[in-house]
Structure formats: structure tokens, C-alpha cells
Amino acid sequence: MRKLQNDIERICRLGLDSRTLRSRVMARLRQDVRYDAFCFGTIDPWTLLITDDISGGIPPGNAALASHNEYLEADVDKFADLARTGRTVGILSHSTGGDPRRSLRFRTVLPIIGAEHELRAVFLADGECWGAVSLFRRGEQTDFTSREAALVRALSRPVAVALRRACVNTSPPAAQGVPAPGVLVLDNAGRTLVTNETARRWLHELGTLPLHEVAAAARAGRGEEAYLRVRARTGRWLSLWGSTLNGEPDSGASVVIQPTPVSDITRTLARAYELTAREREILEQVISGRSSTGIASALTMSQYTVQDHLKSIFAKFGVRSRGQLVARALDIPSADGEPPRTRQR
């Protein structure tokens, strides 16, 4: 166990972007925990919806079916349940009392993969969930064991911390200038009925998984939790809001996509860069363009205290000026000509 944990922790310290990080983790994990297929997603820690996934051995085009099971059907080992209870890992056969046929996911989702065994895990740090993985084995393979579950459980915090940091590491730089908002309407099977051109352009950056996540969450009656803030593959921050049509879950859902408000971006950055609550407030003030005098007045503190906090924020972001700080936070070129770059740890 210790060698696997050391190797994964070493990967987690490399400062990789999220997708590369997850691919490297899965490649190393497979040496100790065999699987025939997997799906490894990042999770919004506030709504516990999946924001992006990488997978292997899974046929494309099944995101709507998986989201439907995750949010609209009663089943075991839901990612949200594993996260909220702190149980972190579940083996399907164990959670169903030895009869996996009791699980709807076993009967509807696993056959697509040709799998009969499943292990699910979430990655938690400081009580927040930043990722989740499903491992699958086909019927001719043996089931996952309690020892393998323990191996995966031991990786929860280091992987979560790395995913938290990686949410600000993107490549290439963000594209700019696409109009907003985008609007889509989906039926209750997740098929797109209506979409505008802006939404199609946003989805080119996002993929369809976040779309199905918020639509399913809306149909499940999750209200304000049918919302995602997502770092698109181009580096842009986008937000998705889902709502049911006419308030009826069976009538489908509408989804609105637009650039994420600065307040939500700083909320995520505060976790990624391990800012204190006061540092987050000051970051928001800097992004809004306030001077140190203005920040001191708004937050009822001295200018010397503001400068002390700014020095700490600069150190955590690896920058030397306000312009570089804003550029790093929003993925735009800085005024002094230095392009945004990802933080290495």
C-alpha cells in the first residue's frame, strides 16, 4: 500500500493540469488495482455535480444515461452519498448485500461496458469533494476486494488536494470574445431539442457532460444545486444553470450557459490557492480594480494590513504585481506583458 501511496503522492506534486493528472493517477493505480474500464471525473465541491471526466473502455454517448441514474434514480454508492458520509469508497456487491442486481446502475449502466463489478470512490480534502472515480471489471474477472478498496481510500486526500490545485492549471490559454448567454432545451431523455449558436460554441469548449449533469440535477428537484462552475478545456470559466420546463421533471429541462461571475471564480481560487477568508475578500477587491486605500475602507482595515495580505496573496499565486495577479486569476495577459501561466508546486 505504501509504495502505491508514495507514487501517487509524487504524481500529485508535479503541478499537472487536471486531465493529465487524472490520466497519470489511473495508469499508476492500475498496477495495484486492476480494472477493465474506468471513469474519473472532477466534481464541483459546492453542488457535487461532475464537471469533466476522462474514461477508458467506456463507449461514448452515454453521459445522459449515467447522469439520469446518478440524480434521478434511487441507487447505492452515489458519489454525493460517499462524499457527505465520508465513507469515500463503495464496492457495488458489498453495498447491495451480495446481490448487485438490486442496483439499477448494475442493470442499466454496467451492461453498456460489459461489466459486472464496480468500485466507486470520491476524493476529499478538508471536507470537500474534488473528484470521483468508477472502476469496472467484466464478469470473467474477480470482484473488487476490501484490500483494494483500502488502497483507493488511502489516496483520497492527496488526489483531492492535487485536483483542487489543478482546477487553476489549464492549457492552452482561454479564448475571449464569445457572446453570452447560451440557451438549450433538453427532453427528459437528455436529447437536445433547441439550442442557440452561442450554446453550441460554449459546448465546443465544455463537452456535453456538464450539460447533462445540470439538466439531471434540475429534473431531480435540486433547485439552486442545479448549477456548475466549470473550467472549460480552453481555460475559460463558464457557469451552467439548469431548470425544469414548467416546473415538471418529466417535461425536460432548460440550461443557460454564460461566463462565470468573478465572485464565483474567486471562491474557487480561494480553495485552489489556499487563501484565507480575508485574502479571498481582498482578491475580489483587487479584481474589481480598487486601490489599497479603497480596499482598506471597504474592509475596515489599515492600508498596512492590506499590503501584508497582498504580499501573502502574491506569494501564493507566484506573482509580483496586481496586474500579474489579475492576469493569473482570470487567465488574461497582464498589463506588464507577462502572460498568465500555471502555478507549479
CATH of the domain at 131: 3.30.450.40
Both 130 and 37 in one domain: the answer is: yes
Question: For residue 82, what is the enclosing H or E element?
Answer: helix 79-85
- Would 341 be classed as within a structural domain? no
User: What string of DSSP letters covers 91-115?
Assistant: EHHHHTTT-GGG-HHHHHTHHHHTE
Q: Looking at the structure, do residues 32 and 116 belong to the same domain, yes or no?
A: yes
Lowest average pLDDT, out of 138-142, 180-184, 334-338, goes to 334-338
pLDDT in tens, 24-75: 999 999 999 999 999 999 999 988 999 999 999 999 888 889 999 999 899 9
Give me the torsion for CA of 118, 223, 127, 308, rounded to 10°.
Answer: 140
pLDDT of res. 252: 87
**From the CB of residue 106, how many other CB atoms can be counted at a distance below 10 Å?**
21
Q: Does residue 171 surpass a pLDDT of 90?
A: no
Is the domain of 268 the same as that of 244? no
Distances, alpha carbon 13 to alpha carbons 8, 19, 125, 284, 319, in Å: 9, 15, 15, 28, 20
**Residue 343 — very low, low, confident or very high, per pLDDT cuts 50/70/90?**
very low
Task: Report strand pairing: 192-195 vs 227-231.
Answer: unpaired
102 confidence band (pLDDT: 50, 70, 90):
very high
pLDDT band (50, 70, 90) for residue 251: confident
Q: Which domain holds residue 199?
A: 182-260
Q: Are residues 148 and 250 in the same domain?
A: no
Same-domain pairing of 59 and 101: yes
Domain count, the chain: 3
Query: Whose grid coordinates read 465513507?
Result: 87
Lowest mean pLDDT among 131-135, 180-184, 256-260: 180-184
Last residue of a domain, one of 260, 278, 308: 260
Q: How confident is the model at residue 160 (pLDDT cuts 50, 70, 90)?
A: very high
Percent of the chain with pLDDT over 70: 92
Q: Identify the pLDDT of residue 80.
A: 93
Mean pLDDT of 143-155: 97
- Pairwise CA distance, residues 265 & 269, whole Å: 6
DSSP states along 208-246:
SHHHHHHHHHHHTT-GGGSEEEEE-TTS-EEEEEEEEGG
Out of 260, 285, 301, pick the residue that ends a domain: 260
Q: Exposed (0-12), middle (13-18) or buried (19+): which is 50, by Cβ within 10 Å?
A: buried
User: d(Cα 304, Cα 314) in Å, to the nearest integer?
Assistant: 15
Last residue of a domain, one of 106, 134, 166: 166
Whether 226 and 312 share a structural domain: no
Looking at the structure, tell me whether residues 160 and 17 fall in a common domain. yes
Q: What per-residue confidence (pLDDT) applies to 174?
A: 41
**Residues 253-279: tens digit of each pLDDT:** 999 999 888 778 888 888 888 899 899
